Amino acid sequence: MTADLTFGPDFRWGVSTSAYQIEGAVAEDGRGPSTWDTFCAGPGRILGGDTGEVACDHYHRYAEDVALMRDLGVGTYRFSFSWPRIQPSGGGPANAAGLDFYDRLIDTLLGAGIQPAPTLYHWDTPQPLEDAGGWLERSITDRFADYAEILAARFGDRVPMWITVNEPMVLTLMGYSLGAHAPGRELMFDALPVAHHQLLAHGRAVQALRAAGATNVGIAGNHAPTWPASDSEEDKEAAALYDNLINWLFADPVLLGAYPPGYEAAMPGPVSDDLKVISEPLDFFGINHYAPVSVGAATGRADTAATDGILLPPGVPFEPRSLEGYPRTDFGWPVVPSAFGEILRIFKDRYGDRLPPVYITENGCAYGDTVDDQRRIDYLDGYLRSLRQAMDDGVDVRGYFQWSLLDNFEWAAGYSQRFGLVHVDFATQVRTPKASYHWFRDVIAQSRG
């Protein structure tokens, strides 16, 4: 292995998953309904009519999956707690059987020498909370703080790394603004309170975790460079607006304690007090990265391939455009390794000493190749080299968690997209490590040299 893929003995290698995408067992152990259960039941919502009802059956097969991680050589497993499995109604006493499941998982991880790095929330809101207004209502932040207290009290003695919220941008945009994800609301810019309440819930969770003794707490945001579609002033202005909405609306409040100019007035108050909570100092900042986005001024001829098939409604002043000249994953996302290092350098330049150490909490690609997945190897090789270069340029990155260990339920795309290092036959649940699994195992082993 060449020297530019050497990351040192203290670098944390891991894999990431989320509860609804792999656990299954949606009606077992007292788990309540989630917004994704409800969304999947709606006709035409999910490609092929798929659901997460069984997914990878990780609930029953977690020991096998932990063994795969152990053999892979990762030192960290980023998973998510299922809020409706812990609190079926979104409040009140915890469900003992749900807590017991995560006890078993965490103890099995520790027994395999793997550090658990749980995410408190990865989009699966308890349906009763959504029925009461969901993330549009400020009261959900109280419920989330209670939920964080339950988790910290039960697992704080064994969990050395905590992530509060995953990709608040995606829930805001896809779930509440465009309706392409659960809960399927189409509020457009009226969804901005969802962003604020998720960030406030994050801050409340940081406080709750710290009060329980947690010393390594962060958030996971989805971030990528925004490239103007041309040098025209119209395209540059459209790209800047998109960049603020997708990137800085979610990172600035956490790292700077302020919204980008013009957005604070759109948020439910008391905003100035809330920002003090939202900007509680973090021990690390998680960045999920996949691909850059090209954005231009709205023309009415948007290419839906740039937005996972979603056509933005009339009146939006920008439109994502397809990036030409790059290979694409089977999901249609452009493969641009240099953009990975670019977004990391942007964060370093934008936030300076306000940026804590960074973890790459997700990065990966969807290819339908069953076991011989050379395209995934090529993707990971390029992105890891870009990451190494950014680190050489002074970005303090402490770990890389690949998305994902397993092929899984890919939200609105159902089971059509495979992100896993391990192939899953969803009819039999047989797991088969792919060529990329073996390649990644070698990278981990040799990169510590």
Dig out the tokens for 441 from the structure.
């195992």
- Tell me the per-residue pLDDT of 261-293, one tens digit each, with 9 for 90 and over: 999 999 998 999 999 999 999 999 999 999 999
Quick one: what percent of the chain has pLDDT higher than 70?
97
Q: CA–CA separation, 330 vs 379, rounded Å?
A: 12
Closest CA to 85 of 157, 160, 159, 23: 23
Residue 122 counted as an annotated binding residue = yes
Please report which helix (H) or strand (E) contains residue 359, including its range: strand 358-362
Q: What is the CA radius of gyration of the chain?
A: 20
pLDDT for the residue numbered 305: 56
- For β-strands 397-403 and 358-362, DSSP reports them as parallel
Beta bridge partners of 202: none
Tell the residue number behind the tokens 């997460």, with chain if given: 52
Q: Is pLDDT at 306 greater than 70 in this prediction? A: no
Alpha-carbon distance values, 260 to 177, 249, 266, 427 (Å): 19, 6, 11, 47
Catalytic residues: 167, 362
Quick one: what percent of the chain has pLDDT higher than 90?
94
pLDDT for the residue numbered 301: 67
Q: Is pLDDT at 302 greater than 70 in this prediction? A: no
Q: What average pLDDT is seen over the chain?
A: 96
- Tell me the per-residue pLDDT of 148-176, one tens digit each, with 9 for 90 and over: 999 999 999 999 999 999 999 999 999 99
Q: How many domains does the chain have?
A: 1
Domain containing 95 — which CATH number?
3.20.20.80
- Tell me the per-residue pLDDT of 1-14, one tens digit each, with 9 for 90 and over: 333 789 999 999 99
Q: Is pLDDT at 106 greater than 90 in this prediction? A: yes
Q: Is pLDDT at 37 greater than 90 in this prediction? A: yes
**Model's pTM, two decimal places?**
0.97
Residue 248 counted as an annotated binding residue = no
User: Domain limits at 103?
Assistant: 3-447
Residue 222 counted as an annotated binding residue = no
User: What are the start-end ranges of the H helices in 168-232?
Assistant: 168-170, 192-211
Q: Is 309 helix (H, G, I), strand (E, B) or coil?
A: coil
In this prediction, residues 121-131 reach a mean pLDDT of 98
pLDDT for the residue numbered 449: 62
Q: Is pLDDT at 303 greater than 70 in this prediction? A: no
pLDDT for the residue numbered 448: 75
309: left (phi over 0), alpha (psi -120 to 50) or beta: left
Q: Compare 350 and 309 and report the one with higher pLDDT.
A: 350
pLDDT for the residue numbered 2: 38
In this prediction, residues 43-72 reach a mean pLDDT of 98
Closest CA to 143 of 211, 90, 76, 206: 90
Residue 297 · residue 318 · CB < 8 Å: yes
Dig out the tokens for 209 from the structure.
């975790």
Residue 166 counted as an annotated binding residue = yes
